[in-house]
Structure 1
Amino acid sequence: MLEASLFTSFFLIFTGAALLATIALFSRQPLLVAYIALGALLGPYGVGAIDNVELMSEMSHVGIIFLLFLLGLDMQPQALMSVLRKALVVGTISSIVFLAMGYLVGKAFGFSEAECWIIGAAMMFSSTIIGIKLLPTTVLHHKHLGEMMVGLLLLQDFIAILCLMILISGGGDALNLRQLSAAVGALPLLCIGAWLLVQYLLLPLLSRFDRFHEYVFLVAIGWCMGMAELAEVIGLSKEIGAFIAGISLATSPISQYIALNLKPLRDFFLVLFFFSLGAQFNLGMLPEIIVPALVTAALVLVIKPVTYRFLLGHQSERPLLAWDIGFRLGQISEFSLLIAYLATTSNLIGSEASHLIQATAIITFLISSYIVVFNFPNPIAIKESLRRD
């Protein structure tokens, strides 16, 4: 019964996604819109054709893990430190600005003190999936815009993971500083352990059996998943573990072969991610949160690009590049949804605040995708002049 249910779910998701994606392309709409709309249509708050959204959501999380693993594969460690140094000032100041913006919005609409801080925290981050997915590969790996984007997103990821660690260690009671400190202290040990395993175990094995493509594929997936699981066990997150797994292999000759072969698998799970995003939103909550969600989303879509334009301009970046980065990062993040989920399960925020964050995420994901797809170079642009792979 479970197998039939899972197969039926996959049939509905991917056949429906193919149909809606075709309509989206003919009507010149971003594909992400089709996936989210399909989730809202088929999910438990739509027609209810797929009710096991939790399973789909957990599976889709694998797509984010693969995305960060592939990102790590393309990042040389020396280049990573250089990128983070360049993004440190802009990333830190912008995060403070967005935290204050979310906090003040929460205050304006009468949320509790804890809810205001968590709404503010959710506003700090931009979507790694949308930011990287809509960035041409040549720009991502070979141009200054790609370096700054990656640096800002990585810095935000570290801040987001710190916020998640605080929520997890604090629960509904006092913050567990001992657990938090242990997790932070475990990060360099995880990096060193990954480097040693790659140098003295993985690379010798891959060099010896590299003609067996299936073996290389299995080792790459096993390494990614193993590091992700280990990172979670020691108090970090699966995302950080997957990223470290990628970086540890980045200097090996086989890294680009692995990256190329894992991209279809990543895209499979990312379709599930955007589907589950639409499916988990309770449409019945709309009357209560639609006004604050629209106000919050409007502020995010306006203040984020302006903030990045101002901060990057003061670092002598060209205005065109500063606006480009600002609009590409002009949404909130999948980490924001995870923060909302953890805060809800810890009884730190109520259902209304959680749905405000979810609605803001969906609105900003959609509108930000439209802005980028129709105005900046990207792999899925409708205009031929903007399409870059």
Structure 2
Amino acid sequence: MHDAQPLIVTLVGGLVLAFIFGMAAHRLKLPALAGYLLAGVVAGPFTPGYVANAHLAQELAELGVILLMFGVGLHFSLKDLLEVKAVAIPGALVQMAATTALGMVLGWALDWPLAQGFVFGLALSVASTVVLLRALEERHLFETSRGRIAVGWLIVEDLAMVLALVLLPALASVGSPDQAESGRSLWITIAMTLGKVGLFVALMLIVGKRFIPWLLKFVAHSGSRELFRLAVLAIALGIAFGAAQLFGVSFELGAFLAGMMMGESKLAQQAAEDTLPLRDAFAVLFFVSIGMLFNWHVLLEHPLTVLAAFLIITLGKGLVAYVIVRAFGRPKRTAITIGISLAQIGEFSFILASLGVSLGFLSGPARDILLAAAIVSILVNPLMFKWLDRLREEPASEVATDIPFVATGQTGHVVVVGYGRVGRATVQDLQAAGHRVLVVDLVEERVAELRGQGVEAVLGQASGDDVLDVLNLPGATALIVTIPDPFESGEVVRVARAKHPGLFIVARAHDTEPAVHLAAQGASEVVMAETETGRAMVALLPAHG
């Protein structure tokens, strides 16, 4: 047995179990993360059989959180964050205060010490980065106002928790005999923490904004894709680690700012694609590591307390967030999305709970109750999002870009699914050729843009029955699916083909395997970018001879 084996066993065991239980969950039409969590429970110390190294699993999971926040930063700019600051900053702070108060009320009802109720409530107030971002990513909400508010809210919570984790040890010493000295020490700690965070942010905005895009461009000119990928990972992980070690900033915030600065480069899209496989793999390990913490005995010993904590996380925190967002004049759909996004807790809550136990603020049973409520909230959160997905859009008086699904009156039209770069070019070419077009997209801003141009557009998931039924596919000339993800586009093709066997369907693919998959799902024609590029280049050559 070699010393390195615990790492290998934990990594392999976690991924294999996650795959097995994730596939089982998918077959049962449950969220895949339910399978990942169950894999963690099986690999954890509270069930018989194989037990993975919990410490190593949590460190591997931390890599997933870093890469995920880095990927989010690539899609954001400082302008995006400043646009939502009026809602995100006061909203996050008020919501955290209200949820902490609810936790303290629960602690008072259970005769807990005031400090324990406070730490318990504070842990309930902060949402999981991974759960929230995966939900937004799956629904393509990053580019919407709802997504930007949610991410801005998350960043504020992150900063607040950084401060809380620094202050808790200082608060533990406030009860010392020299009360005045303890008070001064507390204020010095607050000032130093805020100063370090401010210095790091300023350094990234002034130096990082120029240096990181320049470095990426320099590496790209080397012509080595391997070096480019290495540079992307080195920047993401290096800045996250440096932020934590030198400035006391969380890994997550450091990675987010690194991604945001890299987003200034024209190579940001390539950087995002290169880190995607690692992000997905380590994000899975995050859920496995959470499942390993689950002590199922607490459900038998404190069922009502776990239920109360769960209700605070979901109903209490969700309702508080909903009321706050509505108070700022935002639409109901936006408020519901933010409320559901925050109706779960995760990694920061666990870190805070562990620190609280080590400082004597939190008891072991209270920590177990917190972990149980967190895991149940993570399991339920995807179901809440599924409910949100089924909600029909609000009336035009509520949100100008959202109208109820109304069957199109068009015939002989072309339905285009996806209005990204390829979808936009496709629509322009179709219009230039005189075709009538109907577009389906998940991003509100894109749909609003199309409607503003007089183009009929539907906001929704194209594989859903409620959307397909209003597109008049039997009367359409063709269905063109421009979504880059082969699994997502394959599902659209499969459902459309099952409903309309005679429909002409064109889909896009980047490689041979996705092309075969799309053809198997029912695509009439599959266009591969590389093949079409080659044909176009050959067509440009002068006639031979």
Say if 1:305 and 1:330, in contact at 8 Å, map to a contact too. yes
Q: 1:127 to 1:199 in 2, by over 3 A?
A: closer
Max Rg structure? 2
Q: TM-score, normalised by structure 1?
A: 0.91
Residue matched to 1:329: 342
Unaligned ranges ≥5, structure 1: none
* 2:75 alignment counterpart: 74
Letter in structure 2 aligned against 1:366: L
What is the rounded CA distance, in whole Å, between the counterparts of 2:139 and 2:302 in structure 1?
Answer: 40
**Counterparts in 2 of 1:88 and 1:198: CA distance versus 1, 3 Å:** closer
| Shift of residue 193, structure 1, vs aligned partner | 2.5
1:305 counterpart (298, 318, 322): 318
- Asked if the contact 1:330–1:364 (Cα under 8 Å) also holds between the matched residues in 2, the reply is yes
Q: Is the 8 A contact 2:123 2:353 kept in 1?
A: yes
1:79-118 to 2 correspondence within 5 Å? 79-118=80-119
Match of 2:66 in 1: 65
Shift of 1:383: 10
Deviations 1:145-183 (A, max 9, x none): 112211222222221222112125545665643233222
- TM-fit CA distance, 1:366: 0.9
Between the aligned partners of 2:365 and 2:209, the Cα distance in structure 1 is 49
SS at structure 1 position matched to 2:360: coil
State the secondary structure of the residue aligned to 1:142: coil
Higher helix residue share: 1
Q: Which residue of 2 aligns with 1:9?
A: 10
Q: TM-score, normalised by structure 2?
A: 0.66
Contact 1:72 1:247 in 2 (8 A): yes
Task: Among all aligned residue pairs of Structure 1 and Structure 2, give the percentage whose two residues are the same amino acid.
Answer: 24
User: Structure 1 CA distance, aligned partners of 2:348 and 2:150?
Assistant: 17
Q: CA deviation at 1:227?
A: 1.6
User: Kindly tell me: are residues 219 and 195 of structure 1, through their superposed partners in 2, closer, same or farther at Cα, counting changes over 3 Å?
Assistant: farther
Asked if residue 217 in structure 1 is aligned to residue 217 in structure 2, the reply is no
Shift of 1:319: 1.8
Residue of 351, 368, 371 corresponding to 1:338: 351
Q: Which of 206, 211, 218 lines up with 2:216 in the alignment? A: 206
2:219–2:231 CA contact under 8 A, matched in 1:
no
SS of the aligned residue for 2:16 comes to: helix
1:300: how far off?
Answer: 2.3
Structure 1 range deviating more: 158-167 or 136-145: 136-145
Name the residue aligned to 1:289. 302
Cα pair 2:197 2:248 within 8 Å, conserved: no
Contact 1:227 1:242 in 2 (8 A): yes
User: Matched residues in 2 for 1:37 and 1:288: separation?
Assistant: 21
Determine whether 1:252 maps to 2:265: yes
Matches within 5 A, 1:26-45: 26-45=27-46
User: Which residue of the partner structure matches residue 189 of structure 1?
Assistant: 199
> What count of residue pairs does the alignment treat as equivalent?
387
Secondary structure in 2 aligned to 1:46?
coil
Aligned to 2:120: 119
The unaligned stretches of length 5 or more in structure 2 are 175-181, 391-441, 443-460, 466-486, 490-545
Contact kept, 8 Å, 2:64 with 2:282, in 1: the verdict is yes
Report Cα offsets for 1:12-49 as digits up to 9, x if no partner.
Answer: 22222111111111111011111111111121111241
Which is strand-richer, 1 or 2?
2
Aligned-pair distance for 1:328? 2.4
The residue type equivalent to 2:375 in the other structure is I
Root-mean-square deviation (CA, aligned residues, Å) is 2.6
2:464 matched residue in structure 1 = 385
Identify which of structures 1 and 2 has the higher relative contact order when contacts are C-alpha pairs closer than 8 Å and 6+ apart: 1
Judged with a 3 Å threshold, the aligned counterparts in structure 2 of structure 1 residues 91 and 282 are, in CA distance, closer, same or farther, namely same
Residue aligning to 1:20: 21
Q: CA deviation at 1:329?
A: 1.8
CA distance in 1, matches of 2:216, 2:333: 43
User: Take 2:250 and 2:313, find their aligned partners in 1: how far apart are those partners?
Assistant: 26
**One-letter code aligned to 2:62:** H
Q: 2-side partners of 1:384 and 1:226: how far apart?
A: 40
Alpha-carbon distance, 1:321 to partner: 2.6
Q: How far apart, in 2, do the equivalents of 1:272 and 1:136 lie?
A: 18
Give the stretch that moved more between structures: 296-305 or 333-342.
Answer: 296-305
Contact 2:337 2:388 in 1 (8 A): no
1:358 Cα shift? 0.9
User: Counterparts of 1:258 and 1:115 in 2: how far apart (Å)?
Assistant: 44
